[in-house]
Amino acid sequence: MRASFVFSEVITGLRRNITMTIAMILTTAISLGLLGGGLLIVRTIGKMQANFLSALQVEVNLDDAVSAGDPNCTQSICAGLRADLTNYPGVVSVQFQNRNQTFAKAKAEFSNDPEMEQLVRPEAFPASLLVSLQNPTQSGVISAAFASKAGVRDVDDQGVFVQKLTDLLNGVRNATFLIALIQALAALMLISNTIQVSAFTRRTEVGIMRLVGATRWYTQLPFLLEAVVAGVVGAVLAVGGLVVAKVAFLDNIFGSVFSSTIIPKIGLLDIASVSPWLLLAAVGISALTGYVTLRLYVRL
């Protein structure tokens, strides 16, 4: 089998049906770009959960009477709550934070907003017992067990916030994958149609090749390679699109969110890590679609 002939036939086929080739490449690029976006969201969710869960604490906020009258957590109500929390199954540590410490922490957070910094007062903040758990995903158990105890104003379960944010990102991921699936179906149909048109326009020369002894695989291989080349080009465009979207869109619009560490920043290394999967998907889907099309609809 002469490789130069096969590749020349691939180039000829792609150039002969240039409009369909461009449409196939662009549709493939869009579907793979959306797939890559979904994979990046999956990675982001994993990082976010790991970051939040590693630092997650349950804040048992004390009522005004305890916050004002027991700054060292030595009286019976606060000391009893602290002891109960310390001995509770799954609790690693319990740290007491009095009202002034909570106020100082809040004031530091508002340091970039002078007006808000002037408005906050120590009386607006409760004393708290900060609870660290062996299994942060079980934070709701502490809330259920201690929310109604004497001296407790409320329980701030940070795990609820993490779960809501995770659910939101999961929803975005699912929508992205759904659109990617629709685009992928369109790409499959375009690949199939392109191969059929290409085979039809070269039916005479292929027939002559078969008459002089060319094997079925030899005559089919150029058409398969056309689909694969278009898929690879689409994958490269998809990766380039992800890089452009990160630099021109994500970094500019969500820069403040990334800097606050609420959502981990998507880096070029993340895009590089999903790129091989996009390339593999492009090659596999293109080759499989081409093979099935040639077996079912084209007789070479």
DSSP summary character for residue 124: G
Supply φ then ψ for residue 61, to 5 degrees: -85, 130
pLDDT at 132: 83
Give the closest residue to 34 by CA, choosing from 176, 182, 218. 176
Q: How far apart are CA 44 and CA 262, in angstroms?
A: 11
Residues near 75 by beta carbon (within 8 Å), at least 6 away in sequence = 66, 69
Pairing, β 152-157 against β 91-97: unpaired
Lookup result for tokens 């002894």: 213
Task: List, in order of start, the domains of the chain with CATH numbers.
Answer: 3-52+163-296 (no CATH), 64-150 (3.30.70.3040)
User: Using one digit for the tens of pLDDT, what is the confidence trace for 197-234?
Assistant: 766 666 555 555 555 555 666 666 777 777 888 889 98
Decide if pLDDT at 116 tops 60.
Answer: no
CA dihedral 181, 187, 190, 195 (to 10 degrees): -120
Please answer whether residues 241 and 25 qualify as being in contact, where contact means their C-beta atoms are separated by less than 8 angstroms: no
pLDDT tens string 10-43 = 666 667 777 777 887 888 888 888 888 888 888 8
**Rounded distance, CA 10 to CA 224, Å?**
9
Mean pLDDT for the stretch of residues 284-299: 76
Q: Which range among 77-81, 150-154, 193-197 shows the weakest confidence by mean pLDDT?
A: 193-197
pLDDT score, position 143: 79
Q: How many CB atoms lie within 10 A of CB 71?
A: 16
CA–CA gap between residue 58 and residue 233 (Å, rounded): 50
> Residue 247: what pLDDT?
85
Token code pair at residue 2: 């002469």
For 31, 34, 87, 177, the CA distances from 174, given in Å and listed in that order, are 14, 11, 41, 5
